[in-house]
Amino acid sequence: MEKNFVILGDICYAKEFGKLECSGGSYLVCENGKVKGVFKELPGQYRSLKLYDYSGKLVCPGMSDIHLHAPQYAYRGLGMDLELLDWLDTITFPQESKYADAEYAKKAYDVFVEDLKHSATSRAVVFATIHKEATEYLMEAFDREGMAGYIGKVNMDRNSPVFYCETTEGSAKTTLEWLDDVTGRYENVHPIITPRFVPSCTDDLMKELGRIASERALPVQSHLSENLSEIDWVHELAPDSKGYADAYDRFGLFGSSGKTVMAHCIHMREDEIELMKKRGVFVAHSPQSNENLRSGIAPMRKLLDHGVKCGLASDVAGGSTINMFKAITDCIQVSKLRWRLVDDTERALTFPEAFYLATVGGGEFFGKVGSFEEGYEFDALVIDDSSARTILELDIQQRLERIMYLGHAGSIISKWVAGRKLF
Amino acid sequence: MEKNFVILGDICYAKEFGKLECSGGSYLVCENGKVKGVFKELPGQYRSLKLYDYSGKLVCPGMSDIHLHAPQYAYRGLGMDLELLDWLDTITFPQESKYADAEYAKKAYDVFVEDLKHSATSRAVVFATIHKEATEYLMEAFDREGMAGYIGKVNMDRNSPVFYCETTEGSAKTTLEWLDDVTGRYENVHPIITPRFVPSCTDDLMKELGRIASERALPVQSHLSENLSEIDWVHELAPDSKGYADAYDRFGLFGSSGKTVMAHCIHMREDEIELMKKRGVFVAHSPQSNENLRSGIAPMRKLLDHGVKCGLASDVAGGSTINMFKAITDCIQVSKLRWRLVDDTERALTFPEAFYLATVGGGEFFGKVGSFEEGYEFDALVIDDSSARTILELDIQQRLERIMYLGHAGSIISKWVAGRKLF
């Protein structure tokens, strides 16, 4: 596949936190699937490359959605009048159990992956279900459609309904079989160790997952401190741990085996924040899910000020939509409410800051991803914002801010992931 | 124009607060521009009427956006990193002043009205600017495109920049000239008295506007208790009034002349809530604006429990989008955050409740509007939700909830206002 080409357009990306680099009518060069640079005048050596002329269109990096549940996409936007633990029992577990049927899983995942392909997301960190076959199909579909991601077969061996629960041994064994099947099979789609959350996994299973993750130097994803009832429950279930974060850390599942991302992190103690920083654990912030499941608002400014790595996430179906434009503006909006209602020392996030989190911030989970600096993976979106009509003359940053607030996902007219053109 | 016809589709509407009426594959009959009823089998006397077959599509009432600023549509989704009073000075006032130029106003308002026509909104309560000519053009455009609304020439004679301020006499005189021009001119577009807010209007102007409103039995719109700094300022400016609500009421601008709507009502005292109920004053709740301008979250459950009339609003450009689907889900989401962060005795709003506010609740400002009960004005939307793919079988209420959460404004494929088909 040809991975050397040039895009001409109105280019906008983040390099540093809180500042956007904008360059109208400029050339973005891709060399061997990596960004070579942004040029106002195209240097001579690139003039023979294929040129995609998107003059007047916005060009920005693809976004990383670092926490979402693929099987929940089928019921996105439904049952939003329930709180977390009720929502899990009433909708989530019964629905996820259906993915035991491989044909059902294929049909559902085909819809999910095709919609994700046309969204702003170029890379995702994904929960599948406990089922090996369905999880492998999801990875295959990601690869086939050109999406990049870490995809996890979920582990759960307690506090789950009989129709959607594993034995400890079965869970570990299936995980190893799955890892043997998929490790190294795809260029941009990789496995990730996925204990659902502390309440769903016995200490024995956690120990085994920690061992597997460490031996194979695998990344890890899970949930942390989303809901107050959930946190109380974790304290009951893990009386010997120092807290929710430690309930993962004591089994080597908190950043010591490989890159680790924890979803939510809303109600965090100072020592837990420090541990996240020390271990390099990422926060996946899902503002829409925080609202829908009435969990609260994650203290993003505080986490960022402490130097914790942070990215944005849709958390479908806790979040209703995979639209990362909405994750960006929701992130700003809830940070304003947190400033107003919870702690007025925590400054609200700005648009350039939230845009950074959706691109560079979460992109770091995948390596050099989410910017147009030289050497970054070539993930790019072309956005046609002409349907958002106005008689004002807007600069590039204003146009980008506006199209995010308007949330027109349909305005994405072309997309590249790792140098491959998806559409 | 033919105002007798039948629509076949999957019909959903609210009658009582908190409950949806759903009827799949049913007939919605319009007689003389009014709803006749919803029928599972079409009665014989309507079988000769024109039938619009929207089988498999959702059909629901049009929505009422009871507070938005038409001139601000041009810069929706911009400058959202500013707080209310800074945002007014830096963006709003300079932009609104441009509508002194009638040609500029025409171009900008044509974009606004055409986009509004294709949105979920069938009726709107609208702030224009201080300019008579531009305001009259906006009313003409509403009428031409078939939209219904109350539109107000804004009054402001203090605390405004020199380039966007009136004299007291000039403001009153222009208002009277405007009223003489437009009163009774259109079937579904009417004038409304519009003091911008207390800080922008001297007592003398307020007195004069109260007199005009009372003499002509006119409706009134303004802003109330949006932001804490604004409320402090009102107390300084009106030391003799009992509070912000009384600063309108003492001039007869709080429900005594005609229907009155106050935007925001976030930080309300008990006696003010009681006064609103007593006077029948409507609250225009703009959840997105509450977030963007970091004002807080209006206590909707409390206002509703007190029996205050409430509707939803986009508050463009405090809210970034005119999409009322988003106003519905934002309303639910911020009510959940209020429950979690401010007062856990105030139950979050449910989807059927928020849908009621966007249709029947705000619709009441226009009379019998927002439902499919017999005798209601025939305002209807046809929604094609087929692009929101899933392999699940969903019932009508689930499909409606989902399309609102996904916010696909582009899914509206047909629309009627007062029995007239707009597209």
A17 close to B (CB below 8 A): no
The per-residue pLDDT of chain B, averaged, comes to: 96
Asked whether the beta carbons of residue A78 and residue B348 sit closer than 8 angstroms, the reply is no
Asked whether the beta carbons of residue B111 and residue A292 sit closer than 8 angstroms, the reply is no
Asked whether the beta carbons of residue B296 and residue A340 sit closer than 8 angstroms, the reply is yes
The per-residue pLDDT of chain A, averaged, comes to: 96
- Count Cβ atoms below 10 Å from residue B342 Cβ, excluding itself: 16
d(CA A349, CA A327): 13
Residue B317 C-alpha, separation from nearest chain A C-alpha, in angstroms: 11
Chain B residues closer than 8 Å to A81 by CB = 332, 348, 350-351
CB-based burial, A380-402: b 16+ in 10 Å, e otherwise:
bbbbbbeebebbeebebbbbbbb
* Tokens linked to B292: 């963007």
Asked whether the beta carbons of residue A405 and residue B320 sit closer than 8 angstroms, the reply is yes
* Tokens linked to A153: 């077969």
Asked whether the beta carbons of residue A78 and residue B407 sit closer than 8 angstroms, the reply is no
Asked whether the beta carbons of residue A402 and residue B341 sit closer than 8 angstroms, the reply is no
Asked whether the beta carbons of residue A340 and residue B74 sit closer than 8 angstroms, the reply is no
Cα–Cα–Cα angle for B319, B322, B327, nearest 5°? 70
Q: Is the dihedral of CA A311, A317, A319, A325 positive or negative?
A: positive
d(CA B25, CA A349): 47
Chain B residues closer than 8 Å to A405 by CB = 76-78, 80, 320-321
Closest by Cα among B326, B299, B310, B210 to B261: B310
A402 close to B (CB below 8 A): yes
**If pLDDT is split at 50, 70 and 90, which confidence band does B1 have?**
low
d(CA A9, CA A29): 11
Q: What are the backbone angles phi and psi of residue A62, rounded to the nearest 5°?
A: -65, 160
In contact, B13 and B37? CB cutoff 8 Å: no
pLDDT, tens digit, 9 for 90 and up, residues B28-74: 999 999 999 999 999 999 999 999 999 999 999 999 999 999 999 99
d(CA B226, CA B396): 36
B404 close to A (CB below 8 A): yes
A19 close to B (CB below 8 A): no
Chain B residues closer than 8 Å to A295 by CB = 340
Cis peptide bond upstream of A100, omega within 30? no
What per-residue confidence (pLDDT) applies to A408? Answer: 73
Asked whether the beta carbons of residue A341 and residue B297 sit closer than 8 angstroms, the reply is yes
Query: What is the radius of gyration, based on Cα positions, of chain A?
Result: 21
Q: What are the backbone angles phi and psi of residue A246, rounded to the nearest 5°?
A: -65, -25
Question: What Cα–Cα distance (Å) separates residue B185 from each residue in A179, B136, B188?
Answer: 73, 11, 9
Asked whether the beta carbons of residue B392 and residue A74 sit closer than 8 angstroms, the reply is yes
Measure CB to CB from residue B405 to each of A74, A80, A333 and give the nearest one. A80
Asked whether the beta carbons of residue A339 and residue B402 sit closer than 8 angstroms, the reply is no
Residue B409 has pLDDT above 70, yes or no: no
Coil, strand or helix: which one is B97? Answer: helix
Measure CB to CB from residue B77 to each of A75, A295, A406 and give the nearest one. A406
Residue A285 has pLDDT above 70, yes or no: yes
Give the ipTM of the model, two decimals please. 0.96
Asked whether the beta carbons of residue B340 and residue A76 sit closer than 8 angstroms, the reply is no
Coil, strand or helix: which one is A259? Answer: coil
Q: Is the dihedral of CA B53, B58, B62, B67 positive or negative?
A: negative
Cα–Cα–Cα angle for A165, A168, A169, nearest 5°? 120
In contact, B224 and B308? CB cutoff 8 Å: no
A333 close to B (CB below 8 A): yes
Choosing among A80, A385, A401, which should be mutated to test the B contact, i.e. which has the most B CBs within 10 A?
A80
Contacts of A407 (CB under 8 A, 6+ apart): A323, A325, A326, A329, B321, B326, B407
Q: What are the backbone angles phi and psi of residue A222, rounded to the nearest 5°?
A: -165, -165
Residue A205 has pLDDT above 70, yes or no: yes
**If pLDDT is split at 50, 70 and 90, which confidence band does B2 have?**
confident
Measure CB to CB from residue B111 to each of A334, A390, A403 and give the nearest one. A390
Give me the long-range contacts of A242-248 (CB less than 8 A, separation at least 24). A242/A271, A243/A269, A243/A271, A243/A272, A244/A198, A244/A272, A245/A272, A245/A275, A245/A276, A246/A272, A246/A275, A247/A198, A247/A206, A248/A195, A248/A198, A248/A206, A248/A220, A248/A222, A248/A224
What per-residue confidence (pLDDT) applies to B79? Answer: 87
In chain A, % of residues over pLDDT 70: 99
pLDDT, tens digit, 9 for 90 and up, residues B258-271: 999 999 999 999 99
What per-residue confidence (pLDDT) applies to A84? Answer: 78
Residue A220 has pLDDT above 90, yes or no: yes
Q: Please provide the DSSP assignment of B6-57 as one string.
A: EEEEEEEEESSTT-EEEEEEEEEEEETTEEEEEESS--GGGTTSEEEEEEEE
pLDDT, tens digit, 9 for 90 and up, residues A336-385: 999 999 999 999 999 999 999 999 999 999 999 999 999 999 999 999 99
Chain B residues closer than 8 Å to A324 by CB = none
Q: What is the mean pLDDT of residues B205-209?
A: 98
A230 close to B (CB below 8 A): no
Asked whether the beta carbons of residue A402 and residue B76 sit closer than 8 angstroms, the reply is yes
d(CA B122, CA B136): 19
- Count Cβ atoms below 10 Å from residue B33 Cβ, excluding itself: 17
Asked whether the beta carbons of residue A337 and residue B410 sit closer than 8 angstroms, the reply is no
Asked whether the beta carbons of residue A292 and residue B333 sit closer than 8 angstroms, the reply is yes
- Count Cβ atoms below 10 Å from residue A163 Cβ, excluding itself: 11
Q: Name the residue of chain B whose CA is nearest to A339's CA.
A: B294
Range 313-332 of A in CB contact (< 8 A) with B: 320-321, 326, 329, 332
Measure CB to CB from residue B74 to each of A111, A348, A391 and give the nearest one. A391
Closest by Cα among A145, A138, A194 to A171: A194
Residue B408 has pLDDT above 80, yes or no: no
* Tokens linked to A407: 């949330």
pLDDT, tens digit, 9 for 90 and up, residues A317-347: 999 999 999 999 999 999 999 999 999 999 9
Residue A40, phi-psi category: left (phi > 0), alpha (psi -120 to 50), beta (remainder)? alpha
Chain A residues closer than 8 Å to B292 by CB = 333, 336
Residue A1 has pLDDT above 90, yes or no: no
pLDDT, tens digit, 9 for 90 and up, residues B61-93: 999 999 999 999 999 999 888 877 888 888 999
Measure CB to CB from residue B75 to each of A329, A334, A392 and give the nearest one. A392
Chain A residues closer than 8 Å to B295 by CB = 340
Residue A193 has pLDDT above 90, yes or no: yes
Asked whether the beta carbons of residue A297 and residue B391 sit closer than 8 angstroms, the reply is no
What per-residue confidence (pLDDT) applies to B407? Answer: 83
pLDDT, tens digit, 9 for 90 and up, residues A44-74: 999 999 999 999 999 999 999 999 999 999 9
Q: Where are the alpha helices (DSSP H) in A121-202?
A: 132-145, 168-182
Asked whether the beta carbons of residue A78 and residue B403 sit closer than 8 angstroms, the reply is no
Chain B residues closer than 8 Å to A98 by CB = none
Residue keyed to tokens 């003389």: B32
Q: Which helix (H) or strand (E) holds B189?
A: strand B189-191
pLDDT, tens digit, 9 for 90 and up, residues A25-36: 999 999 999 999
B292 close to A (CB below 8 A): yes
Range 343-372 of B in CB contact (< 8 A) with A: 348, 350-351
Coil, strand or helix: which one is A225? Answer: coil
Measure CB to CB from residue A74 to each of B336, B391, B406 and give the nearest one. B391
d(CA A335, CA A342): 10
- Count Cβ atoms below 10 Å from residue B94 Cβ, excluding itself: 13
